[in-house]
């Protein structure tokens, strides 16, 4: 079961996500021509759309470059996509400057050691259920769902439900 942090979730304006191992299960299929395939969770995608409907923003910071990530970001209207970030903290700081947000207004979701500086820096640092132990030790929240298995949706619902926004967002589905 996920732990419940003592954080003012209403301050969070942006959700920043790692991609491989968070939006996917961490598996990459490499094709003979060098292209690759990834599997993204549709519940996560719908959660991101609901997050945007709540007036909040999303960004991706990935250690790898991938056309699949670019395409998925476009499908979900994620405008800020930073790929090939071997050191993620400078990318995160650049993102804060670009958006005029503070780290206290950001939730970050990761799964591996590259994510450690951001989990420690963000207001709400999240490790997915199948994250490495070192990341879990520093996370404010550990999801019950694994990366690629609904963890992003879980984080979104957790924040939106605990800030009183979830019910209003669900109204459109009740008719």
Note the pLDDT of residue 4: 53
10-173 carries CATH number 3.40.50.1000: yes
Per residue in 63-100, pLDDT (tens digit) is: 999 999 999 999 999 999 999 999 999 999 999 999 99
Name the burial class of residue 33, with classes exposed (0-12), middle (13-18) and buried (19+) by CB atoms within 10 angstroms of its CB: exposed
Per residue in 117-160, pLDDT (tens digit) is: 999 999 999 999 999 999 999 999 999 999 999 999 999 999 99
Q: How confident is the model at residue 6 (pLDDT cuts 50, 70, 90)?
A: confident
Region 3-30: mean pLDDT is: 90
- Angle CA(134)–CA(138)–CA(139) in degrees, nearest 5? 110
């Amino acid at each position: 079961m996920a732990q419940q942090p003592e954080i003012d979730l209403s301050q969070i304006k942006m959700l920043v996500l790692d991609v491989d191992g968070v939006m996917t299960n961490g598996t990459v299929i490499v094709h003979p021509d060098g292209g690759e395939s990834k599997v993204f969770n549709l519940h996560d995608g719908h959660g991101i759309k609901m997050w945007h409907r709540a007036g909040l923003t999303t960004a991706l910071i990935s250690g790898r470059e991938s056309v699949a990530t670019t395409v998925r970001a476009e499908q979900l209207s994620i405008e800020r996509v930073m790929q090939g970030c071997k050191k993620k903290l400078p990318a995160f700081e650049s993102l804060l400057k670009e958006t005029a947000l503070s780290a206290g207004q950001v939730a970050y979701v990761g799964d591996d050691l590259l994510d450690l500086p951001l989990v420690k820096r963000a207001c709400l640092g999240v490790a997915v259920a199948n994250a490495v132990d070192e990341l879990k030790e520093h996370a404010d929240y550990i999801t019950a769902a694994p990366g690629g298995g609904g963890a992003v949706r879980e984080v979104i619902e957790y924040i939106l439900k605990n800030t009183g926004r979830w019910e209003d967002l669900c109204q459109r589905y009740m008719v």
